[in-house]
Structure 1
């Protein structure tokens, strides 16, 4: 770090050796701060102000945080102007087995065009914009248009089986399964969501994490309806975000700013609302009313959720020379720090806003391909952007995943992926199809699991969280009523053994991929819903009610954005899938696999040099960020992810990736409610699988 003239707060998160003479490293600092320039709040904006990037590094805030930490590192006065951006460092080999620093490349922020006041969420082409997405993030709205929704199809008035099999083909669900000798699955009309009053289904707000994407298929989709959200819900959500470590006068100042319509107050609010502390439940299990001392009143906001998940930017005390306040574990080529419990007297000035967190965690792993360096995020937080930079440059700008068009492969695969992601990339289709589609963003963000280079191609792997929760059917005679539909694990790409098979694709798109995946932490996203629109159990979209308020928790349901994996057993005959109700389906390797709502989707891409070059050039453009010009990554596809259902505490770890219960229980494990006999059967199956694999 000294050779690169970087502050001691920088940490090494990933590196690659290129041949015998070059070393490429990725470093980042916990001191970085990113600000969003809301043009609607500016006074006397210059006429050319709309051409400026809405995102920039906040050097003033970084310096304030540095001074508050009592920096004794003895760095030069230049640090007052340092933005603490992430860097790629390039070293060359030298005699005596040493490496000599050669140059550094700055990972610049993506370009986001500012929009004029009053543009609402409509861009110049009538579709939603990235600018609006960041506005929603900064005012702590956990429902934003860039990430996946609950994973089941969201088409107004159209049931899931209709979308999967086409109009008039709904009845073929049972017949197609019968042709293969498969027992019937719970009907594909089932929707996500579980009831708060059923067993362990109810997770208190301080034990649950939200999802970003609203389940509703309306344009606003954030509460009961668009008009109610605009008239009261949005304002209430903004004003409810807690003011952590703030004095009464500070709280009043922000409140006054909000009431006067000054959006600067919202930015300040977002920067301060980054606490993990929430109101604890009383003995009766009800949520108390929050106060300003590290507690929320009605809403659990995005930054609180990210903090609870352990993905918040590490605090200053974690860089070298300072006592650690968190638990660091290496994952996906980077270091994930789980913040320790903070004392009630501590300030929050060392914490950062949501956009800063997203920038920080997006610089987690790198790959090198013939002079081009690719940087992506990790499996810890959704990645909004990625970098492709030329090693000969000094700076490279990120490009949005929303500007990258992935080719999903075969038509059937593509259709199912679109349904799972809640959108269809078809400008002529019904605008009510989904919130993502209405916003005009054709790709969501991803949880990046792996990144590497094989045979002159970049290979990346990313997860989309499938959603399976409780069957919300109102039919009291239905066997699936109020029962859990799936359990979840996340998985990672084993770069040592899996990439070659992935590139060659010898196992087939739906076949077992032995040795490719390793089990990681268990966690879930949850979001409350209030039921079905119009009271119909099958023909209307799920209605979002986020977050649950104290006075409505009894009637609300929670849609579980569990990372739902097919519950598989490997064998010579193919993949046997066990859903949470104990129904098993066997798929031969030569058979087309019917989409199952317990499928976890792995998106993987094999990208060539020219496509990477296009992505790099696109990132440098300052054209309207609503343009339809997109980078096409043509050789991408989707895998259904086979992962064993049951695993024991002694399951082999992947490097230092440790399960949640081995990390001081910071992440709550949500256990499903299964009949005991099913659990024993599944355990036996898993034991058999381990035995066969060891042979």
Structure 2
């Protein structure tokens, strides 16, 4: 870090050795802060705002974080202007087995065109612009209508009937019956996927009723859609604190509810200030707030991210001392495990959501013939990636396939809803083939693997957003009646899987045959209402999909990479998605192609020319759609590529007899 003139807070998150003479590394700092410039707050600058990037590094906030952490690094005063962006570092080999720093490449922010106040950003199709979407990500509001799927009561490993008490069983069953939920989740459902891996959120009007308020107490009231409309929204609005913008100046709480929809409470779009978060007590429950700029009953966006364990790690100490942010390698990628801050303060000032997105988007690296690719992790959905030329000093980010996100008018546009995928509600044919899925039509992905094989970039990604319950009939199974999360369960096996994936020698069966390393012991089963498995759900559901040729007749759901309910076709059976994006409805016992929102796992196989195209498109700032028109290649031929090997042959010594006879 000293050779690259970087602050000691930078950490190494990934690296690749290129041949014998080059080393490429990815570093990032927890002191980075990103702000979203709301052009509507500018006075007299609207004409210039159209050409400016709405995203920028907030050096002021970075310095505040630096001071709060206690900078004892002895760095010079020029660090006051440092933006703490992530960097690619390039080293070259030197004598005596050492590496010498050569240069660094800054990972710049993606471009977002600013929009003037009052502009019509809905468009003819009702989809809001990227600018509006990112603005709404920073709206500070409770996440009450988004319930942790990790069990409806936040007591680790304890079943619902034990948490709520026997007196609640009747009311629980009544709510489930009203929602047409057949034992889903069951009273024996325990807190879901491992709490140290975070929680997912789901919208109430698309899931089971909530019987747990987000203050983590067991004595709460159910908040279904009607409950939120009639009382929850008003209660949350009254609970929302005022947020300090600049010192004593307070931001007014906006009253913008329509038809019970709490579309925004406190706008943080023009500043990166976040509501202070009360520290959790030893039991892990969120403590009650006070009237001093804190939510008392609900979690706000920053608090929810903190509870999910996906915040930027704190930095009270520099490397060499105990650190609260731990970088680990898993599944070919690098993830950051955010630990609880050790500060003696009762409040925590967390970075905003855009900062989280940038920080976690720089998690893993790949190198292909002078092109360097940086992608995110499986901890937080990535909205963008980088493709940069190793000869440059800075590279721009490229957005994933779509920049117009449509959450619908009836839902709160909150990052923690974990549903960043858009739904194609047009009349066009949305039944995509598994090959068309390579176009990556979703705007947000969790990246589980990234590598280069045979001059192709290969990566695997999960669409952000689906969790379900395991209804296994094995009473001794550790996953029985648990909520399962797919986003942290699989990673690419670089040793053998990548080559098979690129060569595609296994055909459609390729991505399932030993290509993935399971990082957990979950059985990938997700029920929906009306699950076909006998009256007691005690019959195993089978699939005819050939997971392996020798076991295709007896393969169970748990043998597949993933499973999820198929919302778009209704609840008439169990539907399973495999790694190729194909889905199977076991009531009809036939394969059907998924719509875009149903697609869970995708993989990309990208050649060098396509990487160059992505890099060139990322440089354009003409509008916020110009840098997303990159199409990924279909899987290559089904036979192994032909290799031409040149073998040097020593020249034959010609004798005098041969020369004289002309046999030369």
Shorter-chain TM range is 0.5 to 0.7
Given the alignment, which residue of 536, 541, 552 partners 1:574? Answer: 552
Secondary structure of the corresponding residue to residue 311 of structure 2:
coil
1:271 aligns with 2:270: no
Equivalents in 2 of 1:80, 1:7: separation in Å? Answer: 11
Please state how far the C-alpha of 1:610 moved relative to its aligned partner. Answer: 1.8
Question: Which residue number corresponds to residue 189 of structure 2?
Answer: 200
1:8 aligns with 2:11: no
The number of aligned residues is: 507
CA contact (8 A) 1:576 1:586 kept: no
Equivalents in 2 of 1:631, 1:424: separation in Å? Answer: 20
Structure 1 residues 295 and 254: alpha-carbon distance in aligned structure 2, compared to 1, 3 A threshold: closer
Structure 1 residues 200 and 39: alpha-carbon distance in aligned structure 2, compared to 1, 3 A threshold: same
Structure 1 residues 130 and 596: alpha-carbon distance in aligned structure 2, compared to 1, 3 A threshold: farther
Equivalents in 2 of 1:252, 1:233: separation in Å? Answer: 30
CA contact (8 A) 1:21 1:93 kept: yes
Equivalents in 2 of 1:29, 1:505: separation in Å? Answer: 38
* Superposition RMSD in Å: 5.2
Structure 1 residues 367 and 579: alpha-carbon distance in aligned structure 2, compared to 1, 3 A threshold: closer
Equivalents in 2 of 1:142, 1:389: separation in Å? Answer: 38
1:623 aligns with 2:626: no
Question: Which residue number corresponds to residue 360 of structure 1?
Answer: 359
Structure 1 residues 82 and 270: alpha-carbon distance in aligned structure 2, compared to 1, 3 A threshold: closer
Alignment of 1:339-378 (within 5 A): 339-340=339-340, 345-349=345-349, 351-378=350-377
Equivalents in 2 of 1:200, 1:61: separation in Å? Answer: 43
Alignment of 1:222-621 (within 5 A): 240=239, 253-254=249-250, 256=252, 271-273=274-276, 277=280, 290-292=289-291, 296-325=295-324, 328-331=327-330, 332-340=332-340, 345-349=345-349, 351-403=350-402, 428-429=427-428, 442-464=441-463, 467=466, 469=468, 487-488=484-485, 490-510=489-509, 513-520=512-519, 572-574=550-552, 576-579=554-557, 594-595=584-585, 601-621=600-620
Please state how far the C-alpha of 1:266 moved relative to its aligned partner. Answer: 6.0
Question: Which residue number corresponds to residue 199 of structure 2?
Answer: 209
Secondary structure of the corresponding residue to residue 507 of structure 2:
coil
Question: Which residue number corresponds to residue 42 of structure 1?
Answer: 42
Equivalents in 2 of 1:279, 1:44: separation in Å? Answer: 51
Please state how far the C-alpha of 1:330 moved relative to its aligned partner. Answer: 3.1
Equivalents in 2 of 1:586, 1:64: separation in Å? Answer: 48
Q: Comparing both chains, which one has the higher relative contact order based on Cα–Cα distances under 8 Å and sequence gaps of 6 or more?
A: 1
Q: TM-score, normalised by structure 1?
A: 0.60
Please state how far the C-alpha of 1:307 moved relative to its aligned partner. Answer: 2.1
Structure 1 residues 635 and 303: alpha-carbon distance in aligned structure 2, compared to 1, 3 A threshold: farther
Q: TM-score, normalised by structure 2?
A: 0.63
Q: Deviations over 1:39-70 (max 9, x none)?
A: 22333334211221110000011111112222
Question: Which residue number corresponds to residue 56 of structure 1?
Answer: 56
Question: Which residue number corresponds to residue 105 of structure 2?
Answer: 105
Please state how far the C-alpha of 1:118 moved relative to its aligned partner. Answer: 2.7
Equivalents in 2 of 1:586, 1:629: separation in Å? Answer: 30
Please state how far the C-alpha of 1:344 moved relative to its aligned partner. Answer: 6.8
Equivalents in 1 of 2:346, 2:544: separation in Å? Answer: 44
Please state how far the C-alpha of 1:117 moved relative to its aligned partner. Answer: 1.9
Structure 1 residues 6 and 499: alpha-carbon distance in aligned structure 2, compared to 1, 3 A threshold: same
Secondary structure of the corresponding residue to residue 509 of structure 1:
helix
Please state how far the C-alpha of 1:573 moved relative to its aligned partner. Answer: 2.5
Equivalents in 2 of 1:325, 1:604: separation in Å? Answer: 33
Please state how far the C-alpha of 1:32 moved relative to its aligned partner. Answer: 0.4
CA contact (8 A) 1:141 1:301 kept: yes
Equivalents in 2 of 1:137, 1:386: separation in Å? Answer: 19
Q: Which runs of 5+ in 1 are unaligned?
A: 144-149, 151-189, 218-222, 406-419, 432-440, 473-482, 525-531, 539-564, 638-695
Q: Which runs of 5+ in 2 are unaligned?
A: 144-148, 150-178, 208-222, 257-263, 405-418, 431-439, 472-479, 531-542, 559-572, 588-593, 637-664
Equivalents in 1 of 2:313, 2:291: separation in Å? Answer: 24
Secondary structure of the corresponding residue to residue 91 of structure 2:
strand
Secondary structure of the corresponding residue to residue 100 of structure 1:
strand
Equivalents in 1 of 2:50, 2:22: separation in Å? Answer: 42
Q: Which has the larger radius of gyration?
A: 2
